[in-house]
Chains A and B, each alone.
Chain A
Amino acid sequence: MILRRLRYEAVSRAIGPLLMAADRMRKSLSGSRGGRSAGPFGPPLESTRKLRELLSLHYLAGRFADGAVPVAWVTSGFPVEALRALGYHTVYPENHGAICSVRRLVPELSDAIEGEGYSRDLCGYARADLGSVATGKSPVGRLPKPDLLCCCTNICQTVLYWYRALADRFRVPLVLVDVPFVYGEVPPHHFAYVESQLADLAAVAAKIAGRDTDRGTLLETVRLAREGSRLWDECLKTGRARPSPWTGFDAFFHLAPIVALRGTAECNAYYRTLRDELSDRVARGVGGIANERVRLLWDNLPVWFHLRELSTLLAGKGFNIVCATYTNAWAEAGALIDPADPEGSAARAYLHVFLNRDLPHRLALMKRLCSEYGATGAILHSDRSCKPYSIGQVDLSRRLSDAAGVRSLLLEADHADPRSWSEAQARARLDAFTEMFE
């Protein structure tokens, strides 16, 4: 245990950063700048390299985490602060699923578990994760085995079914934070229900970690989480400038730290760097695309496996995604976290996440984002493997057009699985959509 801990700390604090520095130097010497080629885009963001290093280090440390520190597998909407304060290494299978999708590994991983009887109609992240567990294949090398599974139904109930399957496979405890959906106002007993479960979580997590929560560490983690959300919000808000200094597709990638490393100093340091770079680009009038003509909102998860092609297609026509309900979600809820009341405010913040709220809230938010970011059009990704995000989009699309004058397109795809993507159909729909703005 002690040796494993030493190895984990050495990789996290010394060896990993050294490897990153060496790689940076090698690329610098070879003249490789990374990032996407210019084409219809503006110059690549310098921060992207730091983002890669940050995530590489996180996954590299993860390879040595089990047996060294307590490990929890966590859903993206889970109140992670309680775990951070106990020294958990957290793994976000959704984030890992996105990486698998970008690398086009999902069909192979999904095939593996479809053989066990899992349906292809299930969430692509869940299939990627269960497939990765079943085959041991991962683009990040290896994920540490969990000591604890933590799932919160504020993003969907799918995570509960998915984590039940993981619990069955790993034979480790599953902590569920069951969150009632918010229609209008939250009744007091729903707050009480979530608060009570957070207390249960703290007790179980402490027992597995073999130590009590240090109050000071918890408060500092909560403060960092709130600040991280604020910094992420500041990064997003630079997109209000004309031209926007980045694209919504960039933002999808730069979202990873606030999901996977929320509540850490590294996460916040990264977003300070990114914010400064974006602000500098705004000051210099540098855009994310070369010729920004039309500004758009994106709704739902990205089409991870096709981001490069989609962004190139839109940028080539002068269309820029300047805001997204998905990336905004991690800025919106974080503001509710209050370091003076970590437990109560966590219940409030995690109840009010975007996906846990009714359609009038979603419509109001989309209208507000379009107004604040100057978006005159919207692409609503009708995501066949994310039902909760997609139900209501037909009506949302109509209402955006009728009530807010925002032209919208419903684009059917999948956030993870390229087998559900129809290139010709999507291109034809996008062409027709962009022609509406001519």
Chain B
Amino acid sequence: MKRMRRDVIAEQKRLGRKTVVALPVHYPAELFTAMDVHVVELWGPPGPPRGPDAGRIQPYVCAVVRNAMAFLADGGAREADALLFPHTCDSIQGMATLAPDFGGWGKPVLRYFHPKGEDRPAARALVRAELASLSAALELLTGRTLESNRLAQAVALHAEIHRVRGALLSRRTCLDLTDPELYRLLRRGEYLWPEDHLSELMEAAKRLGGEPVRNGVPLMVTGYVPEPMTLLDLLASAGAFLAADDYAAVGRRVPLRAPDDGDDPLAILAERPFALPPCPTRGSGRERRMDHLESLYRRAGAAGIVIHVPKFCEPEAFDVPAIRTRFAKIGAPHLFLEGELESRLSGQAATRLEAFVETVRAGRASS
């Protein structure tokens, strides 16, 4: 685990909080906050899988899972008290039995099933029951009881985080931060205590002006996780910036609408998954997703789209043809970038990105 994450965990431990490591993507963070449990997300880590257990998952499985498995088995998360597996994909589901049942993780395991498919009564009932089930598991882990007022505070805190993250993402052209700076800030939310993350977000929000301050080629990105982060540095140096984000790790976790007002924090929490943008890991309808992506693209005034997908990621890969078709139809230049979870962008990918930015820039100049 990187040093800064370790430092944050140590600090949270001093404050008497338990730490749970969470695999991607969607889970009710509010419950953990309300139970005073610190969550640290595990999206890899990037680079080749390391340690003696690196070969326990075949190389044709996505690197997020292979790397996470090797990292855990090598003791990378030994400071944590438990592990959370959301019901994201077949590979994470497989790891959710491999690591605890066959070695690699010997501490408690939490599992969260989010319903697949569109909004329907059965899905809503499942979310409510899963929240209750996860609450009970957290009570067992912490020895504390979930209090309604603490949950209400946590729901309000995360709603504010979502609001500010949403504002930073949607008004980013008016933000006096580069993409690498913005994304490093947003991704600190993967391991900071939520109040600390909100403080940093609020500080950044003060830099939002009324007028656009970004120059260059505005692009939209869709994909899973912005790794390697050097992709953002390269885009910046090539004269482009991200005007819209549909990364599962970033933009897709910001609700499209505020939850309905109500007194019951659990009901508000149960409503939240249905307010999220369409995401293939939740099995959202394809057409609804394509409409959402086109709308996001147009609102942001983007001039091209980068489809950035990890190799072997089935939920993302199955949607790629539809994205390409939709954006070709509206005349939007698009670049499909498939990669492993490298530490740095490969030379070939860098060249393709630079060429893509050049092409889009040339197209804008001639139109």
Contact = CB atoms under 8 A, between A and B. Distances in A.
B58 A391 contact: yes
B97 A190 contact: no
A178 B283 contact: yes
A126 B315 CA distance: 13
B129 A183 contact: no
Contacts of A162: 318
B91 A164 contact: no
Interface string A386-408: 01101111110001000000000
Interface in B79-100: 87, 89-91, 93-98
Interface string B215-240: 00000000000000000000000000
Interface stretch (B111-119, B206-214, B298-306, B339-347): B111-119
A156 interface: yes
Nearest to B55: A394
A189 B133 contact: yes
Interface residues of B, number: 53
| Most A Cβ at <10 Å: residue of B57, B97, B315, B325 | B97
A410 to B, nearest CB: 9
B25 to A, nearest CB: 13
A180 B322 CA distance: 27
Given A121-B312, A178-B117, A193-B125, 7 more contacts: A117-B336, A162-B318, A165-B286, A189-B129, A359-B98, A387-B312, A395-B102
Contacts of A165: 286, 318, 321-322
B122 A153 contact: no
Contacts of A391: 57-58, 61, 65, 90-91, 94-95, 98
A345 interface: no
5 contacts: A118-B318, A121-B311, A157-B116, A382-B58, A392-B102
A162 B59 CA distance: 22
Nearest to A180: B113
B102 A193 contact: no
Nearest 9 pairs of A and B residues by beta carbon:
A391-B94, A189-B129, A161-B318, A117-B321, A358-B97, A196-B122, A388-B90, A384-B60, A176-B117
Contacts of A393: 58
B312 A394 contact: no
B104 to A, nearest CB: 9
B305 to A, nearest CB: 13
Interface in A324-352: none
B69 to A, nearest CB: 9
B102 A399 contact: yes
Contacts of B338: 119
B124 to A, nearest CB: 10
Contacts of A385: 60
A128 B111 CA distance: 34
A122 B309 CA distance: 13
A200 B130 CA distance: 20
B75 interface: no
Contacts of B102: 359, 392, 395, 399
A86 interface: no
B320 interface: yes
Contacts of B87: 180-181
Contact of A119 (B90, B91, B317, B325): B317
Contact of B286 (A123, A167, A200, A395): A167
A168 B286 contact: yes
Nearest to B312: A121
B120 interface: yes
A189 B122 contact: no
Nearest to B88: A157
Interface in B305-342: 311-312, 314-315, 317-322, 324-325, 336, 338
Interface string A98-139: 000000000000000100111101110010000000000000
Given A153-B116, A158-B90, A392-B102, A168 B322 contact: yes
A176 B117 CA distance: 7
B101 interface: yes
Contacts of B317: 118-119, 121-122
